[in-house]
Amino acid sequence: MKRDIQIQAYEKRAIVKRAFIDSIPVLMGYSTMGFVAGVLLAAKGNLILAPLWAFLTSTLWVTGTMSIAGVPEIARHASFCAFALMTLMVNFRYAFYGFSMLSRWKKVPLLKKAYLVLMLTDENYALEYACRLQDPQKNLYYCTVLSMLNHSYWIVGLTIGAVVVAVLGHVVDPDSIRKYTNGMEFSMAALFIVILTDQIRQFLERRK
């Protein structure tokens, strides 16, 4: 019997630990970015029960760009077709991420594969593509754990941001909250550049 049929418990713990360590920069970026998106959604989205909407959208909608750019459209109650087209245009690049990873996930069940592809943000893709675990099952387990960790950071950050505005909105002017978060929307771009630069550096070191 081949040993790679099942991943041992101690191997799973090691992979989870490695995925968590690798995800720490994403934790810092996603929690910050999610908080900003949650604040903007609650302050400017013109929604009832904004924290609930923040939780639902962050669970199903993992994109920092649209979570901020889409707030004015949500406030204006834009049509579904217009909003869907905007989302497609903004996030079209993610399709290429999915195509490049499908060869690793050929035998993965459809729902699990769909989740992994959905989670292929810039940061997830950079970390998963650079994963050096050669065993297909270990690689898949790493990608799954990493995706779940990074997804949870986004959900928590966005929900907390909306809760803060909902609780303090009657005391603190939402416009003031938004003013003090100006510029933080660029944190994801900066985080991706840092991860990409580090991966290029490691690649060049391995080539020596």
Q: Phi-psi category of 46—alpha, beta or left, where left has phi over 0 and alpha has psi -120 to 50? A: left
* Angstrom distances, CA of residue 159 to CA of 55, 87, 128, 162, 164: 5, 21, 26, 5, 9
The encoded tokens of residue 136 equal 């297909």
Q: What is the predicted pLDDT for the residue at 142?
A: 94
> How many angstroms separate the CA atoms of 66 and 83, rounded?
10
What is the per-residue DSSP string for the chain? --GGGS--HHHHHHHHHHHHHHHHHHHHHHHHHHHHHHHHHHHHS--TTHHHHHHHHHHH---HHHHHHTHHHHHTT--HHHHHHHHHHHTTHHHHHHHHHGGGGTTS-HHHHHHHHHT--HHHHHHHHT----SHHHHHHHHHHHHHHHHHHHHHHHHHHHHHHHHHTTTS-HHHHHHHTTTGGGHHHHHHHHHHHHHHHHHHHHH-
Q: Which distant-in-sequence residues (6+ apart) come within 8 Å of 100 by Cβ?
A: 129
Neighbours of 9 (CB within 10 A): 8
Do the Cβ atoms of 154 and 58 come closer than 8 Å?
yes
Q: What is the value of pTM for the model shown?
A: 0.77
pLDDT tens series, the chain, 208 aa: 344 457 888 889 999 999 999 999 889 888 888 888 888 888 777 777 888 988 988 888 777 777 777 777 777 777 778 777 877 777 777 777 888 888 888 888 888 888 898 888 888 888 888 888 888 889 899 999 999 999 999 999 999 988 988 887 666 666 666 666 566 556 556 656 766 676 677 667 766 6
